[in-house]
Every structure is written in structure tokens, then in C-alpha cells.
A and B are shown apart, each in its own frame.
Chain A
């Protein structure tokens, strides 16, 4: 049986298998169809229906269940929903167990959340450092508002304040007004 306890391990392995079987496009299809439209349809329906309130309900529940040590913070502002992930339970599992089948596991979040937000009329500013730390700012698509300055929205909860955010050897991936994993700016 394939279990849920080590799900992130075989999920990561599956990305690599799909890429070998059908190239990068097949991985994108998988995130969009299998994860956004099927597995996470409860999140998709909730956010399409309730917008920011739906995001608060979905991530409030999911992150607490997956990260009971509360290695994250949620900040709700006017026309913005922000997540600061200080200790990603998913990437953290891979790091602790020395698993890295796929070239960039962190891409999977934009792979399904991006299309979900596009369908719901939102766009995403996002950075991740491949060490289990990232931040997300979700605003209505077409918003002229720039991403917040460090600490400007989340205060002391801003993950960018951590010394480890840009530790030597850490590479940041950046997205601006993105809805697709290939919107990555490097």
C-alpha cells in the first residue's frame, strides 16, 4: 500500500517519474489536473466561492494539520492574503530524509496553486529558498500593488527576517504576479 505518512516522499518521486515518462509538460499537466482539479478540489471550490475568506479557511485548516508545530504565519490585509512558511512540513520531510528525486520539489506548490488562483481571479507574488521557507502574497489579478517590503505586511512573522532566508549557498526562486510554475524569474 502507498501510504499518507511518507506522502511527500513518493509525491517527489512521482514528479521525477512523470518528467522521465513525458517531459516537463506532463508534470505541469499532473499538477494542474490531478492536484488542482481533483485532489484539492475542496480548496479550489472554496476559494472560487469565497475568495480571501476561502483561503483563510483552507490554509487555516491544512497548515495546522500538516504543521502542528505552527511553522507558518498567515496575515490577512486589505486585498491581500499572505503566508510566511518558516518550516515547511512537506519540504522539511524531504530534507530530513535526504530525498530529492525531482529537480525542484518546491515548484509543485505553484504548479497547482497558480492555476487555482488564476481560475479564481487572483495572482501571486512568491519566493522560496529551497530550505523549507517561502512567502506568498495573493492579490486580485491585475492589482497594481507591489509585493510588500520585508516586515511591511507580516511584521515579525516575515520569513525574510530570518538569518537563514538567504544563507550562503541558498538560491531564491521568485515569482511576480504569477499563476504558472513557468512564470519563475529565477
Chain B
């Protein structure tokens, strides 16, 4: 059965015809062609599909699109400023070499954005624990941890 869903994605109202079983991530990637949100597993472990729904980081592979009816969704494409300037958290990933192949990166950034709001000056251990639901196979996490510590501080400093 096709159903119509409507929501706001990156500030813009969108609607799409989807199946009842269509996952939010499928709607984002296939219907909206926002391919920055990635799928790295089928067990909600890797976190590559992390987006914000109503301000909270969620795994978009783990809810169906219909559950996001009326919601405010933010994907990685909506994080930088309209003029293309990187958000301080994105900039921190770049400065600290917090990414290699880039596949887990959108999920890492989306998760870090939410974490940083509650942790303006996090310890390394707090950051490592916050990454429990995001897998990276390239960086060994060392520079992701550095990036998030720096990004959180930059966000708190109003950069």
C-alpha cells in the first residue's frame, strides 16, 4: 500500500509516496536523493545512517518513513551554512583528520552534533562512550575523538 508522508527535511517541506515498510533512510536516499546519509549495516549497529529527527540523533535505518510524519529532519546536507561554510564540528573533523574514506563520517558528525550540545567540554572518555553506536573501520577512532573534543569546544565557544 502506498502512503503519502510529509515532513520537513533540512528546513524544506517535502512529501513522498512510499510503502508502509519504507525505511526513513530509504525515503531520504531514494526519494529525496540525499545520498549523504549512508547505510553500512542491517542491524542498527554502524550508525552511518544517523540523522536528526526533531533535534535528536536517530538511526534512520531503524524507523519507517511513516513514523517521521510531520517531523523536522536534519541530514548531513543541511549542516553546513547556506554559503557552504563548514559547521564548526565539520571543520574540526577536517582539521583533525577525523575521516578517511568518509563513509561513516556523516553519521559521526550527526551523532557528534547532538553529543556536543550536552557536552561543551567533553573528556576523551566521554567522547569514546558517545561513539558506542557509530562504527569506523579506517581511523581507529583516535582522530575522530580529537575532532569531536575540538568541535564541541568550538561550538561552545560560539565559533
- Interaction A to B: no
A contacts, CB < 8 Å to B:
none
